[in-house]
Amino acid sequence: MPQKLLARLLSISFQQVQKYESGVNRVSASKLWEMCSILDVGPSYFFEGLSRQPSQGKEPVAMAAAQEALGSQATESTNPRQIPDLNKNFNQIRDIRIRGHLLQIVKSLAK
């Protein structure tokens, strides 16, 4: 997919996509999620080939980041299976336009 098209679908500039690709700017989890939807791949696609080194005595980085993003509500109201289930079902929606609309609904509800 051309970078210009990806940028348009992500509602960001072409230059921002270039910065993501070159590693100048980090990709937020929400943008990574959008990219996965647009490109019809799972998040693991972007990490293939990287070695996983388990943390010693620490909680997984993804869970720590999720709890930080959600604040104290993460442990109180978030079922650990909800996020993977949401991801799995979302990725089964083949129409990219529907996924984009659904993403906008979720963002609106989160506000």
- Domain definitions of the chain by residue range: 1-41+82-111
Q: What is the pLDDT of residues 85-104, one digit of tens each?
A: 777 777 788 888 888 888 88
> Do 35 and 6 form a contact (C-beta atoms < 8 A)?
yes
Q: Can you give the pTM of this predicted structure?
A: 0.45
What pLDDT sits at residue 74?
Answer: 47
Q: What is the pLDDT of residues 55-85, one digit of tens each?
A: 555 555 555 555 555 554 444 555 666 777 7
Read out DSSP for 9-32? HHTS-HHHHHHHHHTSSPPPHHHH
